Amino acid sequence: MQFVIIGGDAAGMSAASRARRNLKDLKIIVLEKTFDVSYSACGMPYNIADPDRGIDDLVVREAHIFREKQGIDLRTGYCVEKIEPKEKVVIGHDPNGKEFIIPYDKLLIATGATAIVPNIPGFNSDRILKLKNLADGRKIKRYMKENDVRQAVIVGMGYIALEMCEALQKRGIQVSMIKPRSVFLPGFNAELSKIVKDEVSRHDVNIHLGQNIERIESIGDAAFRIICEKAIFDCQMVLVAAGIMPNSALAADAGLDLGPKESIAVGKDLLTSDANIFSAGDCSDAYHIVTGEKTWNPLALWANRAGYAVADNLAGKGIRLDGVAGTAVFKVFDLQVARTGLNKQEALDNGFDPVEVVIKSRTKAHAHPGSDAIYVHMIGDRKTGRILGTQMVGYDGAAHRINSVAVALHQKMTVQSYSQCDMAYSPPFGPVWDPTLTAANQLLKKL
Amino acid sequence: MQFVIIGGDAAGMSAASRARRNLKDLKIIVLEKTFDVSYSACGMPYNIADPDRGIDDLVVREAHIFREKQGIDLRTGYCVEKIEPKEKVVIGHDPNGKEFIIPYDKLLIATGATAIVPNIPGFNSDRILKLKNLADGRKIKRYMKENDVRQAVIVGMGYIALEMCEALQKRGIQVSMIKPRSVFLPGFNAELSKIVKDEVSRHDVNIHLGQNIERIESIGDAAFRIICEKAIFDCQMVLVAAGIMPNSALAADAGLDLGPKESIAVGKDLLTSDANIFSAGDCSDAYHIVTGEKTWNPLALWANRAGYAVADNLAGKGIRLDGVAGTAVFKVFDLQVARTGLNKQEALDNGFDPVEVVIKSRTKAHAHPGSDAIYVHMIGDRKTGRILGTQMVGYDGAAHRINSVAVALHQKMTVQSYSQCDMAYSPPFGPVWDPTLTAANQLLKKL
């Protein structure tokens, strides 16, 4: 049997490695259009923050190891341009520009996602930077080495934008962040969002909300003028971090069904609408465990988990993935910002009757030195009493605490049941009542 | 109605405060035998570590606030010596040595626990220190101020002993720890236990296992000689931290049923075998949510939770507490040591068929600076696939991660279901797969 994988990052290489462990005689071909495989994409902002670290630090396993130790036919620089589901072949060009036609018995589309570049004059330029793959990160590091960047503008304010704002600020660059919309962290509770915004501002980052960009002009070798409706920004570096979109064009052209945000629709077995084609990772969709509906969740854990599940299903193990809770965390300066489940609008959109609380707690026990604030926003459903989602912002302990609520969401736990959970307490790690328990206790009174 | 509470710490004062909020006209009398109420007992080792902090830092709410703002008749120095369940009175002596007889409609026994002092010559002395209540902590601080303590011996190696060993070491004292048993952390997985032992040794603390103490001799004003079967230790300070036992004599004398370790037996409604007497906190027992059997779990969260539940049930709210998972965490030097659920022996004793793994993971993502080790020991049941318990030791992230597993235990989740949970990932906070997920994935292969 020949197993062909398009895309050699998290989902693709997880599937390839596990497929080899499962099936010793399987012929595995991975076609990766760049020259990088298996790297920690999420680590790029932290790598960029440190001029002394090479970007290749982030490579988890080098290509030759997959080839030599695992017998995986990994081909980099191979760009697939077409899938023919009836003929069961993929067609494209190799690094020498020569066309290839490769047959498959089973195919995995793990093409990932692409940074969205706004359709605004000046953005579509090689000199405007973005950060999605390792080549982007390499380019940013080179750019910063070769140019005297004193001011940078980041277009967008999502988690990559915020992580990059910290990275650039740490390198002594004056950062301005611009976005057209007026809300700082859409989807986040306003009180929590304000705390994050204050933290960013406190580090001398300029935040410009509601700025419609009209065009970017090049005003020198490494100098740009960003002309907005209401302001003009001059800088030596522009980074676009205005969101990502799934790379689903190949799948769409092959007639496969698409899901939310035009991601590739897959079942709990990771099969697309074609019984011989799997899809996994940032390019495909998932079930949301709170709503039971499809969602698009382009995050690393899901990509890895889905990649493994594809390989297991290829070996007939019959794995069905429950889905995602939308659990995520990012760090911005000294703050941890975490979420899981639905926000209030999503709860309303899915027919729930959301009731919410925001509580303030502490990162350490009463009178313990070095205690700081942690805020928890929890949403419950008035009809069923279920927890629907939680957001957390704190100087410590938000990143791991969110997982307790994620487990509760997977179990469709009520706020009442959650409030009874026996959690760990010791003064250096938090108050007697874990902040998520305090939130549950308060929410219970309102339900 | 007159609600009388014996004991003014976590459970007692939680019950008193909540009872006042629930019932404005209730007559509430709290009888506390010491002169301290409502303090963070668990914070004492950290307070003792710092000679500049006063021990009264740890008082959460002062007595006069309960009296003046909440109208609670809080009487300190009131020692109850007898409960007469038929007459519904408690009898004892006030601080002036005068007998009191106080009638109750409902009674709460929240008498806590007492440090065990070994029945060995020399231990039963005022100069031998222990650490259970605030008076003990105050005495230790005074002792250290008034005496030139260069060497200290701690008898016992439980979590209080280990927290105190860190506290004393931070004050420049050479600490030796002695215990008769040969196992360092009984109940902990041997591999994890060794990591903790190495961490303690690394800080120049002497660990002496299997040392039977024959007697302690006073060899000067503040100088002791501890004579063991195989060795002799000279020091200027002796701390006994050899475990605690429930203060249940009052209840036993009143004919109430007792549970494990002679703790006071209570139902899920916190009622004892007498329908007018509740018990809560370190003196009483609880259901274990994994086994469904009774256990004794003298920890702060449960004491607070049980105190609140008593007050709610007094107001007719019909609260039933599910029970405890045995979730606990302590810090020793740079390590976080956490557990929830059953250990292997407990699993066997309760008729499970335990299968276990120990995995080593990292506290940060691949290539992220400052990453350190974290170890997870997870036990599953071969028959049902359920998670039975987890232990964790790590330089970061063990304290809060244990709670995810605690939630899973409350839900009787299988290892398979847990392994599917959508958890947060960002490089500064851990690897893509949360260490508890890695443990679940590995355990799944063995089940």
- The alpha helices in A124-264, defined as continuous H runs, are 134-146, 159-170, 190-202, 249-253
What does the pLDDT average to over B354-363? Answer: 97
Tokens of B183: 């196992």
Residue of A nearest to B160 (CA): A426
Among chain B residues, CA nearest to A412? B411
Across-strand partners of A155? A178, A240
* Residue of B42, B79, B228, B421 with catalytic role: B42
Using one digit for the tens of pLDDT, what is the confidence trace for A275-304? 999 999 999 999 999 999 999 999 999 999
Q: Cβ separation of A423 and B433 shorter than 8 Å? A: no
In chain B, what residues touch A430 (CB-CB under 8 Å)?
399-400
Report pLDDT digits (tens) over A24-43.
999 999 999 999 998 999 99
Question: How many Cβ atoms from other residues are within 10 Å of residue B172's Cβ?
Answer: 8
Residue of A9, A134, A402, A426 to mutate when probing chain B, most B C-beta within 10 A: A426
Residue B402, both tokens: 């244990």
In angstroms, the CA A19 to CA A236 distance is 46
Alpha carbon distances (Å) from B242 to B114, B127, B150 = 11, 16, 22
| Mutation for testing the A interface, residue in B331, B426, B434 having most A CBs under 10 Å | B426
Q: In terms of CA atoms, which chain A residue is nearest residue B401?
A: A400
Reference B310, options B106, B145, B147; nearest CA is B106
Q: Locate all alpha helices (DSSP H) within A288-355, ordered by sequence.
A: 300-314, 344-349
Q: CB B410 to CB A428 under 8 A?
A: no
Judge: A430–B397 Cβ closer than 8 Å, yes or no.
no
* Closest-CA residue of chain B to A398: B400
CB contact under 8 Å between B403 and A413, yes or no, is no
Render the burial of A137-164: b for 16+ CB within 10 Å, e for the rest: bbbbbebbeeeebebbbbbbbbbbbbbb
- Which of A397, A421, A422 lies nearest to residue B400, judging by beta carbons? A397
Cross-chain Cβ contact A424/B42 below 8 Å: no
The predicted-structure confidence for B120-178, as pLDDT tens digits, reads as follows 999 989 999 999 999 999 999 999 999 999 999 999 999 999 999 999 999 999 999 99
CB contacts of A427 in chain B (<8 Å) are 40, 42-43, 46
Q: Choose the mutation target among B18, B423, B445 for the interface with A, i.e. most A CBs under 10 Å.
A: B423
Round to whole Å and give the CA distance between A244 and A228. 22
Query: CA dihedral in degrees (B445, A104, A133, A209; nearest 10)?
Result: -90
Name the amino acid, one letter, at A154: I
Q: With bands split at pLDDT 50, 70 and 90, how would you rate the model's confidence at B367?
A: confident
Backbone angles phi, psi at B271, to 5 degrees: -85, 140
Burial grade of A309 (CB within 10 A; 0-12, 13-18, 19 or more): buried
* Closest CB to B322 among A58, A302, A420: A420
Contact B424 A47 (CB under 8 A): no
Nearest-neighbour CA in chain B from A212: distance (Å): 31
Predicted confidence at residue A285, as pLDDT, reads 98
Of A365, A427, A432, Cβ closest to residue B304: A432
Query: B443 — phi, psi (to 5°)?
Result: -65, -40
Test A410 with B420 for CB contact under 8 angstroms: yes
Task: Return d(Cα B302, Cα B321) in angstroms, integer.
Answer: 10
- Residue A356's beta-bridge partner residues? A379
Across the interface, of B289, B417, B427, the residue whose CB is closest to A410 is B417
Of B305, B326, B345, whose CA–CA distance to A424 is shortest? B326
- Confidence grade of residue B366 (pLDDT, cut at 50, 70, 90): confident
Report, as an integer, the average pLDDT of A313-320.
Answer: 97
The answer to whether the CB of A262 falls within 8 A of the CB of A252 is yes
Q: Quick one: residue B38, left, alpha or beta (phi over 0 = left, psi -120 to 50 = alpha)? A: left
**Angle CA A203–A358–A438, to nearest 5:** 115
- The answer to whether A371 and A377 have CB atoms below 8 angstroms apart is no
Single pTM value for the model: 0.96
Count the residues in chain B.
447
| B421 noted as active-site residue | no
Contact criterion met (CB < 8 Å) for A322 and B420? yes
**Mind telling me how many Å the CA of B256 is from chain A's nearest CA?**
26
Distance from CA of B82 to the nearest CA of A (A): 32
Cα gap A271→B185, rounded to integer Å: 48
Across the interface, whether the CB atoms of A326 and B422 are under 8 A apart is answered yes
Rounded Cα gap, residues A318 and B357, in angstroms: 24
Confidence of residue A65 (pLDDT cuts 50, 70, 90): very high
The reply to whether residue B366 touches residue A421, judged by beta carbons under 8 angstroms, is no
List of chain B residues whose C-beta atoms are within 8 Å of the C-beta of residue A403: 401, 403-404, 421, 423-424, 434, 436
Q: Are A360 and A442 within 8 A, CB to CB?
A: no
**Residue type, position B420, single letter:** Q
Q: How many CB pairs under 8 A join A and B?
A: 208
Mean of pLDDT over chain A: 96
Residues of B in contact with A328 (CB under 8 A): 424-426
Res B221: pLDDT: 87
Model confidence at A367, in pLDDT bands (50, 70, 90)?
A: confident
Residues 6+ apart with CB under 8 A from B358: B189, B191, B192, B375, B376, B377
Of B301, B327, B413, the CB nearest to A432: B301
Query: Shortest CA distance to A248 belongs to which of A111, A348, A368, A115?
Result: A111
| Residue B146, both tokens | 């008034």
Instruction: Indicate the residue of B58, B422, B427 with minimum beta-carbon distance to A406.
Output: B422
Q: Which of A199, A223, A44 is nearest to A128 (CA)?
A: A223
Strand partners, B206: B176
* Residue B322 C-alpha, separation from nearest chain A C-alpha, in angstroms: 7
Q: In what order do the strands lie in the sheet with B89-93?
A: B79-84, B89-93, B99-103
Residue B16 has pLDDT above 90, yes or no: yes
pLDDT for res A221: 87
**Residue B67: pLDDT over 90:** yes
Q: What is d(CA A152, CA A129) in angstroms, rounded to the nearest whole number? A: 11
Residues of B whose CB is below 8 A from A57: 367
For residue B321, give the chain A residue with the closest CA: A420
CA distance B384 to chain A (A): 17
* Residue B443 CA: distances (Å) to CA of A96, A240, B375, B378, B418: 46, 43, 14, 7, 11
Taking contacts as CB-CB distances below 8 angstroms, the residues of chain B near A46 are 368-369, 427-428
CB contact under 8 A, B427 and A300: no
Q: Please state, in angstroms and rounded to a whole number, the distance separating the CA atoms of residues A1 and A311.
A: 13
- Which residues of chain B does A413 touch, with a Cβ-Cβ cutoff of 8 Å? 407, 411
Query: Which of B369, B411, B426 has its CB closest to that of A329?
Result: B426
Q: Do A429 and B400 touch (CB under 8 A)?
A: yes
E strand segments, B251-353 = 277-279, 286-287, 294-295, 328-332, 335-341
Interchain contact, A366 vs B58, CB within 8 Å: yes
Determine the distance in angstroms separating the CA of A170 from the nearest CA of chain B, rounded to an integer: 15
Test mutation, B21, B422, B445, chain A, max A CBs within 10 A: B422
- Candidate from A299, A399, A422 with C-beta closest to B324: A422
Mean pLDDT within B189-214: 96
Write the residue in B366, B408, B434 that is nearest to A60 by C-beta: B366
Q: Does the pLDDT value for residue A423 go beyond 90? A: yes
By three-state DSSP, how is residue A428 classified? Answer: helix
Of A242, A179, A167, A251, the closest CA to residue A208 belongs to A179
Query: Residue A248 to residues A39, A131, A281, B66: CA-CA distances in angstroms?
Result: 21, 19, 11, 64
Supply φ then ψ for residue A158, to 5 degrees.
-75, -170
Q: Do B403 and A434 touch (CB under 8 A)?
A: yes
Distance from CA of A232 to the nearest CA of B (A): 34
In angstroms, the separation between the Cα of residue A169 and the nearest Cα of chain B is 17
Closest C-alpha to A141, from A205, A46, A77, A224: A46
Q: What is the pLDDT of residues A194-248, one digit of tens each?
A: 999 999 999 999 999 999 999 999 998 899 999 999 899 999 999 999 999 999 9
- Specify the 3-state DSSP secondary structure of B352: coil
CB contact under 8 A, B368 and A43: yes
Span A383-409, average pLDDT: 96
For residue A58, is pLDDT > 90? yes
Q: How far is A47 from chain B (nearest CA, A)?
A: 8
Q: Is the pLDDT of residue A434 over 90?
A: yes
